Structure 1
């Protein structure tokens, strides 16, 4: 049976998500290890209501969101493996691509923690531009406007009816007045992620990635910037370098899954964001989710 494991990125976090996995093997060790690296109590950040903490301890702070999601996802996927489950191929959405690289044994757990500290710090400090989600729109009109308006790109091409735009505040205001859509929602983010606005951050991140060795993957990985089944560690590194400045091509990722005879997609993480996209895009494909210690099966 052709099974794809998929790992979500920012926007999937939930208060209390760590509580659902903390009793799984290695979970406490991993939260303690990452908390020392990040110099903050990451389990407590997942556990407490964000409106009762200061901004630096908010789960929605990019510097916290990325590592907390990775910890939850990595614990869940390793428990699945220990119970005899194995995917045919894997993919991750934005941050989730790091989890995919870990799942495929391309990077160690320790490498991923250090990598996420660098990545989340660069993204949090970008402070240029913003992002907006667009739901139910005319695709031809959108493509024309994105081409016409300066400083505007499609950051996340999630499905035929949902995208996330990145650009300057002026560009986002411009398209919001001209596009016909069911919903246009500005996102509370620190920068225009997955766009040319991240050029300097991407350059610094690439330099850091050059210090890491990418191992031979144990299973094919689908990258965000170049959706194809990849087993080459050097290609995976190049594609991951391109991720920060380029869009997440998730719609094409799902199309690739269809072309490769997917029968089941399993979202591993605290919410069903990718599962929801899959249900609308992947007809006749079983969609499952693994999000807690009592759900290590599908």
Structure 2
């Protein structure tokens, strides 16, 4: 049975999400994280006001999901991650070390936390034909996340987003609690700075095929994976296509590793007949 591991992104964080991982087997990883970040991940995960700030959310999610992935007793056939989760997927595939991934996420979070322009809004039950037409006619707003057939996320400047909303039919709109218009050209300056950081970091060929956000076709080549990651901050998260790709590749079982059930919920709304599981705490005792 082909299996894929998927890793959630920002928005899946929960208060206390590291507590069940405070075991002897994970002590080294939390200590490594504290040396890199300058603060304790378990401690910060108990502070709701700070946990939901991008600067802290992303390193905490990366650390928790990466530790959970290390405790799995099996290996998947494919890995994928939603936005930030792609960094955990690359770690799980052996593209870079835990420490390298966390250092990248730390710098990514810092750059994104400084973005205060624009915003993001999720649309449920949207008329896709209307939306595509309106987006072509409106500047400064893009499709940031294509999550499943009935849900998308727009990102851009406030006036541009409102222009689109006034012209398309949708069932419900939910503003996202983010500081700026992520996954859009609004963050181009931050993306350019991060691209320079990425260029200096060595990537290895993946041991497991990775399905990236901006190009949801499996890849193992280090240069391809890095090039795709360089586009990610301003590019769209093509999660609906990722879900469909898993089915095309013959995946029968999908395991979401990290807090929450967001990704398996999105996949369930896109693909039929997949076995869906969630791992948000160790699935077996860790005592070593």
**What is the TM-score of this pair, normalised by structure 2?**
0.95
Distance 2:259 2:246 in 1: 22
Distance 2:283 2:80 in 1: 24
Q: Are the aligned partners of 2:54 and 2:109 in contact in 1 as well (CA < 8 Å)?
A: yes
Equivalent position of 1:289 in the other structure: 278
After TM superposition, the structure 1 = structure 2 runs for residues 1-298 of structure 1, keeping only pairs within 5 Å, are: 1-23=1-23, 25-26=25-26, 28-48=27-47, 50-51=48-49, 58-80=50-72, 83=73, 85-294=74-283
- SS of the equivalent of 2:136 reads helix
Q: CA deviation at 1:24?
A: 6.2
- SS of the equivalent of 2:69 reads helix
- The number of residues matched between the two structures is 285
- SS of the equivalent of 2:51 reads coil
Distance 1:212 1:119 in 2: 13
Distance 2:284 2:64 in 1: 13
Q: CA deviation at 1:295?
A: 5.6
**What is the TM-score of this pair, normalised by structure 1?**
0.92
Q: CA deviation at 1:294?
A: 4.1
Give the 3 Å change call, closer, same or farther, for CA 24–87 of structure 1 in structure 2. farther
Distance 2:115 2:19 in 1: 31
Equivalent position of 1:55 in the other structure: none
Q: CA deviation at 1:105?
A: 0.6
| Gaps in structure 2 of 5+ consecutive residues | none
Q: Are the aligned partners of 1:193 and 1:245 in contact in 2 as well (CA < 8 Å)?
A: yes
Q: Are the aligned partners of 1:25 and 1:75 in contact in 2 as well (CA < 8 Å)?
A: no
Show CA shifts across 1:55-97 (max 9, x none): xxx10100111111111111111100xx2x1100110000000
Distance 2:54 2:267 in 1: 25
- SS of the equivalent of 1:263 reads strand
Distance 2:256 2:176 in 1: 23
Q: CA deviation at 1:126?
A: 1.9
Q: CA deviation at 1:255?
A: 1.2
Equivalent position of 1:54 in the other structure: none
